[in-house]
Amino acid sequence: MSDFVKISRDDDIALVTIDNRPVNALSFHVRGPLMQALVSLRDDASVAAIIIACAGRTFIAGADITEFGKPVQQPDLRALIVTLESITKPTVAAIHGTALGGGLELALGCHFRVADAGAKLGLPEVKLGLLPGAGGTVRLPRLVGAVKALKMIVSGTPIGATEAHAAGLVDAVFEGDLATHAVNFAREIARKGGPFTPVRDRNAGETNLGAFDAEAADLARKARGLEAPLACAQAVRNAVTLTFDEALAAERALFVKLVASDQSRAQRHLFFAEREAAKIPAKGIVKRRIGRVGVIGAGTMGGGIAMAFANGGYPVTLLETSQEVLDRGLGTIEKNYAVSVSRGSLSEDAKRQRLAQFKGSTDYADLADCDLIVEAVFEDMAVKKEVFGKLDAIAKAGAILATNTSYLDINEIAASISRPQDMLGLHFFSPANVMKLLEIVRADKTAPDALATVVDMARRIGKVAVVVGVCHGFVGNRMLAARGSESEALLLEGATPGQIDKAFTDFGWPMGPFQMGDLAGLDIGWRNRKARGLTAAIADTLCEQGRFGQKTGRGFYLYEAGARAGVPDPEVETLIREKAAEKGIKPREIGAEEIIERTLYPLVNEGAKILEEKIAARASDIDVVWVNGYGFPIGKGGPMFWAGLEGAARIIDRLDHWHRQTGKEVFKPAPLLKRMAEIGSWETDATG
Ligand code: 3HC
Ligand code: NAI
């Protein structure tokens, strides 16, 4: 018996309960006593059946990720499963909450699995750049078939108890007290008697290898340079083409390789970074209650933001300037939900429930009962101040007032109202109902309880929150500007939009800067540049010609007949050469390496400045912003993690080189980038 593993008895049924909260990870201090418990129960003739269950909110959520990359302490999980599987009396895993990764693998070492109706089961290792490393790829196909196992393991998405039951992964599903049901289940099977066949000795059934390979090839295409999904597919294939022991050994070899890879290190870094980013000092803080949410502006962002809240279960009052614009906004929301229904991702009933959350209005007085009000009107300081002036007059005491501004100074808006302590930024990304990232902008006078309340709320609406400080463009858009100016310079020097975008997609981005600009609308950046007295020779000219990107059918690329993928446009290439000639620039060949160094190294340098200025609290927060808001490849861990892989000294050296090469003033690295080059760490990262 230990603090982490306890044995209790219901007559001849033994119940082993693991208690390693919060998520019952299979840490070393669990594995040791669990092994002892299994051995003693195996050898105890008075025990007819053994149940493995967990205390707290969930079954085992996997191996302990903090132990990866460190020497393995015995017994390891595989040894534990071998012992479990050698027991001849019936063994049962009783699953509630989530059985994930090594947790499900342990359950696969039992003869039977029973689950609470709300339980979820999955092998999400792929999301950490890994494959299941304790027999999951070899045992799961023996229960659910190779194709189903392939889908589960390559996607990493857990399935519910009912689906697991139908697929053969779970033997029984129960509502109510799981322990009691599990004891009755175990007693019944023990009474019926064995022999009980371990999963390793079962047959995966006939596998149509042609269909399997077609599915695997499709998944490989979507992997975008990530190694883990391919290794997962290979391992599942091995499960049906090799013997159990051969497939297990092959799985192990793949796991050992992946766990040491930069991609897996990057993805594990992101796992902890996302959890760390939302942490703020909360001691002694009483959070405010958010019942109803108000959203001002039913345009691109306001509509999406309102949907995000409704999806998270909040009733929403949506305010517009006129009934006509309001109706249009509500109509778009309804259409968006209808698309989800037609795609099968939302039921008709759920759509009705979501729509019932909305109340439209054109009268500010209707916002008086809202506890949080998010403004998403035009990006114009005067308009924003007017809106917040009205809110100051009508909002209830303690209501949190938030702006979705992309760039404007939130301190200035806060200074214009009588309650700056209630004001902060909630910077959603487009489309706001889909994109995971939420930059929560803490203004100088934002009250700690207001901040803590929205951090909590962000989790409820399924966002990955990062708390940032006030500066032009906050973390994401400020760094994006550093990338954007170099992209334009590269065009003038001889690269084409297609070459630059290809260098980005080869690097692992879902799209390149010009594809992204065309998708988002080139007019957004154009308006912003004009407001700040800035220019971009090529993008400005395209906008003057009415080429705003996909929405006008023409931007950096041509989009014929509503096509979503653009094709190169000779007119744009001529324009680029003309602009270059006007500036006296002679075009030259530009390689992918130069494109990446000149666009992404400045991003890192800007990130270092953001850290110095304490706009972001940790380097890993910046990574979370870039991976979740801008599509930075997860296998590279975000710009600041990637900088560690590249080496800060190299980044400084190469930026210095490119500055000289392109006739810019001497490159002055951010002091923190220089320090990173000396000590090899940003010193602010999430642990784990
Ligand atoms: N190892 C170590 N720590 C873990 C962990 C794990 N497997 N899973 C979660 N944690 C930690 C989190 O870091 C967090 O710590 P913190 O409070 O100090 O920040 C704490 O547990 C709570 O986690 P969440 O905030 O994520 O809690 P939620 O309730 O929101 O989510 C969860 C619970 C769904 C279980 C989620 O934590 C999760 O997805 N965990 C990871 C699951 C996973 O990837 N398992 C596979 C691991 S790899 C493996 O098993 C290899 C094997 O094949 C050999
Ligand atoms: P939009 O032009 O699509 O929508 C703005 C809406 O606000 C319009 O429907 C307009 O009628 C309404 N409006 C204007 N003044 C109002 C007032 N006084 N009261 C009520 N409603 C009013 O603009 P978009 O793109 O939704 O942007 C809104 C805000 O979100 C801006 O601050 C923008 O910088 C920011 N943002 C935009 C992103 C984008 O990708 N479009 C991303 C993140 C932030």
Mutate to test the pocket of ligand 1, among 59, 60, 65 (most ligand atoms within 8 A of CB): 65
Atom of ligand 1 nearest to the CA of 276: 19
The alpha carbon of 276 and the centre of ligand 1 are apart by a number of angstroms equal to 12
Q: How big, in percent rounded to 5, are the helix, strand and coil portions of the chain? A: 55, 10, 35
DSSP state of 401: E
Q: Count CA atoms closer than 13 A to 161's CA, side-chain side.
A: 20
**Ligand 2 within 6 A of 439 CB?**
no
Tell me what the mean pLDDT of segment 265-279 comes to.
95
Q: How high is the pLDDT of residue 685?
A: 63
Looking at residue 355, what is its pLDDT? 97
pLDDT of residue 388: 98
Instruction: Give me the residue spans of the domains in the chain.
Output: 5-260, 293-471, 495-582, 592-679
Answer whether 377 contacts ligand 2 (Cβ < 6 A).
Answer: yes
Q: Is the pLDDT of residue 531 over 50?
A: yes
Give pLDDT, residue 528. 83
Determine the topology of domain 5-260 in CATH: 2-enoyl-CoA Hydratase; Chain A, domain 1 (3.90.226)
- pLDDT, residue 586, reads 93
Q: How confident is the model at residue 686 (pLDDT cuts 50, 70, 90)?
A: low
2.40.50.100, 3.30.565.10, 3.40.50.720, 3.50.50.60: CATH of 293-471: 3.40.50.720
pLDDT tops 50 at residue 688: no
Q: The CATH number of 592-679 is which of 1.10.600.10, 1.10.1040.10, 3.30.1360.10, 3.30.460.80?
A: 1.10.1040.10
- Work out which ligand 1 atom sits closest to the CA atom of 102: 50
Q: To the nearest 10°, the Cα dihedral for 467, 472, 475, 478?
A: 170
Question: Is 683 labeled as catalytic in the residue annotation?
Answer: no
Q: What is the pLDDT of residues 619-665, one digit of tens each?
A: 999 999 999 999 999 999 999 999 999 999 999 999 999 999 998 89
> Is the per-residue pLDDT at 505 higher than 60?
yes
Specify burial of residue 223 (Cβ count, 10 A radius: 0-12, 13-18, 19+): middle
Instruction: Count CA atoms closer than 13 A to 627's CA, side-chain side.
Output: 27
Query: Which DSSP category does 54 fall into?
Result: E
| Residue 391: predicted pLDDT | 98
Strand order across the 91-95 sheet: 5-10, 13-18, 49-54, 91-95, 112-116, 172-174
pLDDT of amino acid 278: 83
Do 306 and 333 contact (CB within 8 A), yes or no? Answer: yes
Q: How confident is the model at residue 506 (pLDDT cuts 50, 70, 90)?
A: very high
3-state secondary structure of 574: helix
Mean pLDDT, the chain, rounded, equals 96
Reply yes or no on whether the pLDDT at 171 is more than 90.
yes
Q: What is the DSSP string of 580-604?
A: HHHTTPPP----HHHHHHHHHHHHH
125 is catalytic: yes
Residue 208 binned pLDDT confidence (cut-offs 50, 70, 90): very high
Ligand 1 atom closest to residue 127's alpha carbon, by position in its atom list: 44
Question: Is 340:261 a contact under the CB 8 Å cutoff?
Answer: no
Q: How confident is the model at residue 532 (pLDDT cuts 50, 70, 90)?
A: confident
- For the stretch 289-331, pLDDT in tens is 999 999 999 999 999 999 999 999 999 999 999 999 999 999 9
The answer to whether 137 and 238 have CB atoms below 8 angstroms apart is: yes
Ligand 1 atom closest to Cα of residue 459: 30
Distance 81 CA to ligand 1 centre (A): 20
303 Cα–ligand 2 center, Å: 9
- DSSP at 532: T
Distance of CA 312 to the CA centre of its chain: 17
Which residue type does 379 have?
A: E
- The pLDDT value recorded for residue 527 is 87
The domains spanning 293-471 and 592-679 adopt the same CATH topology: no
* The two structure tokens encoding residue 376: 């998403």
378 CA distance to ligand 2 middle (Å) = 4
Write the pLDDT tens digit of every residue in 543-584: 999 999 999 999 999 998 878 889 999 999 999 999 999 999
Catalytic residue among 125, 251, 375, 439: 125
Q: What is the dihedral of CA 84, 85, 86, 90, to 10 degrees?
A: 80
The predicted-structure confidence for 44-67, as pLDDT tens digits, reads as follows 999 999 999 999 999 999 999 999
The fraction of the chain above a pLDDT of 70, given in percent, is 99
Structural tokens at position 582: 């006007």
Dist. CA 307 → ligand 2 center (Å): 15
Name the strand (E) or helix (H) holding 237.
helix 228-241
Q: What is the pLDDT of residues 440-496, one digit of tens each?
A: 999 999 999 999 999 999 999 999 999 999 999 999 999 998 898 899 999 999 999
**CATH architecture of the domain formed by 495-582:** Orthogonal Bundle (1.10)
